[in-house]
Amino acid sequence: MLEKAKTRFAGMDNHVETESIYGSPANTIVDYANAHGIDLIIMGSHGMGALVNRLMTGSVTTSALHHVDVPVLVVK
């Protein structure tokens, strides 16, 4: 999935990075963004629970939105 994302953004003028890190998803995303000066986070609107309720934002995305200090782009 990360390689697909790299390929999709390869021709853009902006620097795009992908990384795989283990830990509590929301906390790890927030900590990484704060520690590395990330200026935009792109996240999916639904995680594994998407089949249960398509109207709600996923819990990891919701948590990151409330705890990170940079813009978050949520995609469906």
First-residue to last-residue Cα distance in the chain: 16
Range of the domain at 34: 2-75
* Torsion of Cα atoms, 56 then 36 then 27 then 75, to 10°: 10
Domain count, the chain: 1
Partner residues linked to 41 by β-bridges: 72
> Which pLDDT belongs to residue 48?
52
Question: Which CATH number is 12's domain given?
Answer: 3.40.50.620
Predicted TM-score (pTM) of the model is: 0.69
Is residue 67 within 8 A of residue 26, CB to CB? The reply is yes
Taking only the tens place, the pLDDT of each residue in 1-60 is 778 877 887 877 777 777 888 998 889 999 999 999 998 898 887 655 544 444 445 788
> Which pLDDT belongs to residue 15?
77
> Which pLDDT belongs to residue 27?
92
Of 47, 59, 19, 51, the closest CA to residue 35 belongs to 19
CA angle 27, 29, 32 (to 5 degrees): 105
